[in-house]
Amino acid sequence: MEMEAVAEMEMEAVARSSERAGAEMEAVARSSERAGAAVRSRAEVDATLQTAKLNPAELLPAVHCLSFGPQAGGGECCLLQLEPGLCAELEAGRSLVIRGEKDEHAVLCSKDKTYDMKIADTSNMLLYVPGCKMPEELKADPASCNIIYSQIAGFSKNYWELRRCRPKLKKLRKLLMEDPYEGPDSQKDQTSTLSKYTTEDLLSLIQASEEEILHHLQVINACKIEGPFHILIFQDASYFKVLRLVSIDHVLCCYEFDQKEKAEQALQSVSFQHDSFFAATNTGIRTGFISVFLACEERLEQVPHLGTGPIHPLLGYAQTLSGTQGYWRILDFDYEMKLLSHVTQLIDSESWPLSKVPLCACLEELGSLEPREMIEHILLSYGRKYVDDGEIFFEMHEDKICRAIAQMLLQNAVKFNLSEFEEVWQQSVPEGMTTRLDQLQGLALVDKSSRPETIFLLKVEDLPEDNQERFNSLFGIREKWTEVDITPYIHTTHQVVCINNINFQRKSVVGYVELTIFPTVANLNRIKLNSKQCRIYRVRVNDLEAAFIYNDPTLEVCHHESKQRNLNYFSNAYAAAVSAVDPDAGNGELCIKVPSELWKHVDELKVLKVHINFSLDQPKGGLHFVVPNMEGNMAERGAHVFSCGYQNSTRFWFPCVDSYSELCTWKLEYTVDAAMVAVSNGDLVETVYTHDMRKKTFHYMLTIPTAASNISLAIGPFEILVDPYMHEVTHFCLPQLLPLLKHTTSYLHEVFEFYEEILTCRYPYSCFKTVFIDEAYVEVAAYASMSIFRSDEWVLKGISGYIYGLWMKKTFGVNEYRHWIKQELDQIVAYELKTGGVLLHPIFGGGKEKDNPASHLHFSIKHPHTLSWEYYTMFQCKAHLVMRLIENRISMEFMLQGPLKVTVQELDGSFNHTLQIEENSLKHDIPCHSKSRRNKKKKIPLMNGEEVDMDLSAMDADSPLLWIRIDPDMSVLRKVEFEQSDFMWQYQLRYERDVVAQEEAILALEKFPTPASRLALTDILEQEQCFYRVRMLACFCLAKIANSMVSTWTGPPAMKSLFTRMFCCKTCPNIVKTNNFMNFQSYFLQKTMPVAMALLRDVHNLCPKEVLMFILDLIKYNDNRKNKFSDNYYRAELIDALANSVTPAVSVNNEVRTLDNLNPDVRLILEEITRFLNMEKLLPSYRHTITVSCLKAIRVLQKNGHVPSDPALFKSYAEYGHFVDVRIAALEAVVDYTKVDRSYEELQWLLTMVQNDPVPYIRHKILDMLTKNPPFTKNMESPLCNEALVDQLWKLMNSGTSHDWRLRCGAVDLYFTLFGLSRPSCLPLPELGLVLNLKEKKAVLNPTIIPESVANNQEPVNSTNNHGQSVGFQNTEDDHLIKETASSISGHQQGVKRKADMPLGSPLEPGQILEKNEDSKVKLKIRFSNSQEEEEIDMDTVHDSQAFIYHHLNMLERPSTPGEMVARDSAARHRVCIAFLIGELSLVLGETL
């Protein structure tokens, strides 16, 4: 195969892959070489067939016996997969050429097609066996029953795969435009040193086939101009006749030499006009060739006789050898217009019809002015050639001529008055032609916003090729574009979405979509799109009716009724179903057959337009209708609809390619009632009313390529607010919420300014819209140029967590930011310790389950639709923490190993030490810089440069250490625990200025209930300069210390005197001052201290009477009349304080609690809660926070036995119609009641709400609450665990939640929490765990049992890459043995029978124990699930079992589970020793270990 240019990167990849393959096969090859001529005999072959239980009658008689040849190597063989057409070309003697430069991806070209080349890896080893015969080549007669010995000449684990692709022709015009042709008389053309390109040059530079290049040269109107010289090359071994070349008026004349040396000397002295000719001459001499350049034919006859040698006798020979080697050129526009002017003037003067211009007449008339070739070329460029009565004519193309003349008029003007231009333009074109503005698409742009209207030149070829750069350039020219204006300048896919009927009563929509698709490969006869729930009525492709098929495997994951109820089986099946419709893999639910009439159209890679009519009736996901049940029309009732969903959910409301990687431009049209407003992505171009004014259509254009997943919609009677600071930002809210909207969005412009400043770029879209709605799927959903929020909260969760953290630091300060980082760090560490590592970029090798780095999880992480919601939340959390590490220039390896920062505060200041963590257990010595001089009075310098006075009496007299911090910058994604003396924590709390250090000290002081700790915490509470969150945390710590010191505590209850001094009247300490929340720090402390005080307990473990009455007085005397802020959160905290004061009831003789025999204190608490609930019905608080706290308090009273445990109240508050926060609080109480009272009735009530509640967020929260607070777990005995519940949950996640990815994953989480991965214990046991077939001597595992350890490696039946279902059972006593054995072996399912003798490392079946007796005979003990008896099976006996091949070894390194870092501290003298243990970090201060 001929190769003109090879892309070296791909070839190097093949070479490296072949080297790896060679390394793997090296041992086999060596073994084959050692075997030498030792080959198998027919008897050995027959014995092998018998062992494998293969019937020779079912096989071909010929046997291939393979061995490695002496020259076999993996790096010498490169395989290329060819389609039959390409094979036929090679067999016909034609060439295939690989083209591409070093920085280009290689393509393979035939004579007329271009193919993309990609390396395809295969799990099978591909062998190259010369002379190997295929089955059809072998004779069927018995004579062919023999052994064919063949040697392997090469092997490979990959091959080149070809796919038809578009030719890469953009480079062609760029090359030719480097030196445009200005005519034969141009001085520039004669002196230019720029490169010129022949056909061979272009073939070596352009990644396209020869026919495609030649066709494109015609498209761009390139012409072939013959070179000024002919080339004559000849060589004679015994005689050289050399002509000397001299230049006379650019004509090369010749002299004759008989000696080669004289010829070379003469040629060296000649000065040529073109450097390339001189180089070619020298090259010719060096290679033994003499290159003689002769003048063009016409001029050669006029050259006089010079020198001693005749020249004319050489003319004929020169002409025969020189050929027609010319250069491809594009005409300079001015020269092209000059030629066109000659032609059009001739047409006018001769009065020829534009449809019939004679070629001969044009050449005769204009031949004296310009070369004939140029005249014919211009006619071809602007006309159509045809023959009539043997004469050649041209039909001139009106649009091309008008367009060229317009360009000539506009190219020298910056802007042209539109009306004047149209007048001049019409006068300039030939008579009979009509000018139109649509002739200038992609050439000129009309500015209708200017007065007067203007037009200016804007050529599409002058724009950048990169899509993003092109759009930046276009929007730099104009801020807003219409679809008509921008379409000629973009070359990307486009989609139109038109919803022309929305019925709120029926909750239905009707509309159509139109997709503009650019095929990238030939033979495209199927188009796969994503579409769920939509009813497809009609599909047309390029106005032709097209057949289509709809198949959604996610509607029902396990199609066959399965009694396994095995979660891992379901998870694998679900992952396979999601992959089957994954658009990134070229799949989809809707498969459209391209009409056969368009197959040729597709082969030419021409555009397709797919038109789909669809409807949506009562959607369960994707679109959410909110229709309040009240009087009035839909607008008066506040009815609205909006798009929603979790990841790639646009397919739920219109057909599309639902992938973040597929971008296109959008035209969005929505027809709604006149009282409604439609909000969508992009710019609102126009709003058109119908004739009766009852409906209107909103037209949106999104001209920046955007993924379908980022398209959104909200329709409702919205009130509109244009941001007063940024007019390109518009806010929308439901009726009567405009004042709240103004307050909520008042600072949005500051967020915009911060983001644009930190990112050093402008917001990419021309507008931004925020829409506040009810019953939101999530608190905020971010889309292209639009965000949808819950109408009661403004939370920036939809924006990148990292940049959000930067914005938080700027807005709320460093302390709030570091506190948030610490919270996020603790969350991700706690989750990873419980569940396992969270992978930011999971990579799977070959898509095999054995390579799954997250096999410990009960869900697949290959696709976002299969992720647990909690895992996805932690994924986001870890992502922004890693971004923070990158900001600090820390590599990803630092999370596992690398430098660890330790800060030691000594008497002389703070000192940082960096320790290298490279192993699991390490010891480090840290030197101290200070001498022990604590008695000397001197200020102590802190890390921030501040110097403070300290009372050093508490510290060790022999140690200069005050405190130690490990990883103060929170750069290690691990849990850090260490211990130090109580006085060190107290110093750290008082004097360390970092809020994280202060919080760490407070948490540590809970273990040191001493007067010194009490004093340190009290000092912090009184420090107004201290961060408010630290003071709030200190309140709860002080309560815990007071409870631990209850027997020795003196004085009033903790915090009471401090609260009285800070917030109560001086004359009457029990009466609180009038509320004034202007000081936020004091406000947070004021509402936290009563909650913490309520946790105090006396020696009888009861809340002190004094504390309870104090809290009741706070409620009684609360006065908010003069406060500008609402006190609803403060009152809610006081109710929480009442709940915290409740302790378990003491029952006497099992008496039933009634209102008459209530404890007096509890009666007071219940009366206050009842009063608050009644007041809420009259004057509801913001977000109903009072109701939420009251419901929680009532549940506390129930759990502590003071009031009867009854869920009726909570169920009434959980019904649809209540505010979402109230519903969630009530549902939490019902979930808790279900767990404590083991109520099957309430569990069924909750699961019914999961299926039927109108609000998706509530359905999700119920599953989440049941998962976090389950009524039972897999290790518990519970009456709630029964077969009916298993079936109910299985059906819920199998088919009942197909409309909501998040809900389905939540159901999977709940199922895992309740039953685990294995078969639920409440299901009846199958009749047999293992079936032994003694006749066939094989064991078959019962397919209805899938133990948890086996399920980890199981694949579903309907998986696309499934090779057979692995099933089995396992005794828990032998679980450790099975896991240990499986960890050292690997096996692949081959789908064929094989010999059962077990080589070293073969996997065991579940429940088997491998033993070896004295005679080295391997035996296998099988323990049955319903007995302790064991049966031995001789492993030398041939039998079959799928369990031998079900194990898959995890080849990828699994993410390490974060270990705990534990540190212990005691007084040190002069150095610190740090020891790293496996999974934890221990810090010991003291003598060297």
pLDDT digits (tens, 9 = 90+) for 831-857: 777 777 766 655 443 344 444 556 667
| pLDDT for residue 1259 is more than 50 | yes
Contact between 213 and 97 (Cβ < 8 Å): no
Amino acid identity at 1467 = A
Q: What are phi and psi of 1239, to 5 degrees?
A: -90, 110
717-772 pLDDT per residue, tens = 999 999 898 888 899 999 988 988 888 888 888 887 877 777 666 777 778 899 99
| pLDDT for residue 166 is more than 90 | no
Residue 440's SS3 state is: helix
Confidence band, pLDDT 50/70/90 cuts, at residue 594: very high
11-48 pLDDT per residue, tens = 444 444 444 444 444 444 444 444 444 567 878 888 88
Q: At how many degrees (to 10) do helices 814-835 and 995-1005 cross?
A: 50
70-101 pLDDT per residue, tens = 777 655 678 888 888 888 888 888 889 999 88
Confidence band, pLDDT 50/70/90 cuts, at residue 1173: very high
CA–CA distance, 409 with 106 (Å, rounded to integer): 43
Pick 488 or 1103 by higher pLDDT.
1103
End-to-end Cα spacing for the chain: 71
Contact between 160 and 79 (Cβ < 8 Å): yes
Q: Residue count of the chain, please give it.
A: 1489
> What DSSP assignment string belongs to 1202-1222?
SS----HHHHHHTSBTB-HHH
Residue 925's SS3 state is: strand
CA–CA distance, 936 with 785 (Å, rounded to integer): 65
Amino acid identity at 979 = E
User: What is the pLDDT at residue 105?
Assistant: 86
Sign of the dihedral through C-alpha 242, 243, 244, 247: negative
Q: Name all contacts of 594-601 with Cβ < 8 Å and 24+ positions apart.
A: 594/524, 594/525, 594/526, 594/527, 594/541, 594/546, 595/541, 595/542, 595/544, 595/545, 595/546, 597/544, 598/541, 598/542, 598/544, 599/525, 601/542
Contact between 1476 and 922 (Cβ < 8 Å): yes
CA–CA distance, 1335 with 1351 (Å, rounded to integer): 29
Question: Any idea what the Cα angle at residue 209 is, between residues 208 and 210, rounded to 5°?
Answer: 120
User: What is the pLDDT at residue 788?
Assistant: 59
Q: What are phi and psi of 1479, to 5 degrees?
A: 80, -5
Amino acid identity at 1114 = L
Per-residue pLDDT averaged across 1314-1342, rounded? 65
Pick 802 or 487 by higher pLDDT.
487
Question: Which secondary-structure segment (H or E) carries 535?
Answer: strand 535-541
User: What is the pLDDT at residue 276?
Assistant: 33
1096-1121 pLDDT per residue, tens = 999 989 999 999 999 999 999 999 99
CA–CA distance, 714 with 698 (Å, rounded to integer): 12
Question: Any idea what the Cα angle at residue 834 is, between residues 829 and 838, rounded to 5°?
Answer: 60
Residue 197's SS3 state is: strand
pLDDT more than 90, % of the chain: 31
- Total H helices, total E strands in the chain: 43, 52
Beta bridge partners of 626: 640
| pLDDT for residue 1092 is more than 90 | yes
User: What is the pLDDT at residue 109?
Assistant: 92
Q: Which of 1053, 1052, 1061 is nearest to 1096 (CA)?
A: 1053
CA–CA distance, 1023 with 1085 (Å, rounded to integer): 11
Question: Any idea what the Cα angle at residue 678 is, between residues 674 and 679, rounded to 5°?
Answer: 155
CA–CA distance, 628 with 1044 (Å, rounded to integer): 54
DSSP state of 541: E
**How far from the centroid of its chain's Cα atoms is residue 1314's Cα?**
31
Q: Is residue 1028 classed exposed, middle or buried when 0-12, 13-18 and 19+ CB atoms within 10 A define those classes? A: buried
Q: Name the H helices within 978-1104.
A: 982-991, 995-1005, 1011-1022, 1028-1044, 1056-1063, 1080-1093
Residue 1057's SS3 state is: helix
Confidence band, pLDDT 50/70/90 cuts, at residue 1461: very low
Q: Which of 460, 455, 447 is nearest to 422 (CA)?
A: 455
| pLDDT for residue 1354 is more than 70 | no
CA–CA distance, 308 with 286 (Å, rounded to integer): 26
Confidence band, pLDDT 50/70/90 cuts, at residue 942: confident
325-355 pLDDT per residue, tens = 578 999 988 899 999 999 999 998 988 998 8
Measured between alpha carbons, how far is residue 324 from residues 225, 296, 320 in Å?
9, 11, 10
> In the predicted model, what is the mean pLDDT of the chain?
75
Contact between 1110 and 1156 (Cβ < 8 Å): no
Residue 268's SS3 state is: helix
Measured between alpha carbons, how far is residue 712 from residues 468, 626, 683, 877, 1205 in Å?
22, 16, 13, 25, 45
CA–CA distance, 666 with 650 (Å, rounded to integer): 14
| pLDDT for residue 1457 is more than 60 | no
- Contacts for 625 with CB less than 8 Å, ≥ 6 apart: 504, 507, 619, 639, 640, 641
The DSSP bridge pattern shows strands 713-716 and 677-680 to be antiparallel
Q: Strand (E) positions, 649-785?
A: 663-673, 677-680, 683-689, 695-707, 713-716, 719-722, 729-733, 768-773, 780-783
User: What is the pLDDT at residue 787?
Assistant: 62
Q: Name the H helices within 206-287.
A: 210-219, 260-269, 275-286
Q: Name the H helices within 478-622.
A: 483-486, 567-580, 599-603
Q: Which of 146, 129, 145 is nearest to 67 (CA)?
A: 129
Confidence band, pLDDT 50/70/90 cuts, at residue 869: low
> What DSSP assignment string belongs to 1476-1489?
EETTEEEEEESS--
User: What is the pLDDT at residue 746?
Assistant: 86
User: What is the pLDDT at residue 1191?
Assistant: 96
